[in-house]
Amino acid sequence: MSRMTVREVRLKWPEAERRLAHGGEIVVTRDGKPVARILPYEPRARPQAARFDSIEHLRWLDRFWKGESPRPSTDDLIDRDRAE
C-alpha cells in the first residue's frame, strides 16, 4: 500500500500505475487525510449461461397457460390473412 496526494495522482499518473502494479493499492490523501483508495481492476468471472432446454420450456408454457389453449400462433394468423 502506498500513499499519494490528489495532486500527485493527477500529475504523475504513470507513477501511480506503476505503484498499483507493484503494491496493489494507493491511498489518496488531501491535506494529509485519506480521502480515497485506488485498487487495480479485477474482472469478474461471468457465470456461463445455461443452454436452452426445449423440453423444460414446454413444461414452463404448460404451467403458464394453466391448461388453457394458447391463442392462435403468428403463423396461423398469417395463413388466415393470405387465404382471404
Is residue 9 scored above 80 in pLDDT? Answer: yes
Is residue 16 within a helix (H) or strand (E), and if so which, with residue range?
helix 13-23
Q: What's the mean per-residue pLDDT of the chain?
A: 89
With a cut of 90, say whether residue 29 has pLDDT above it: yes
CA distance readout (Å), 76 to 2, 80, 81, 83: 69, 6, 9, 11
User: Residue 40 pLDDT more than 80?
Assistant: yes
pLDDT digits (tens, 9 = 90+) for 47-80: 888 899 999 998 998 898 887 777 788 898 999 9
pLDDT given at position 1: 78
Q: Where are the domains of the chain?
A: 2-38, 54-83
pTM of the model: 0.50
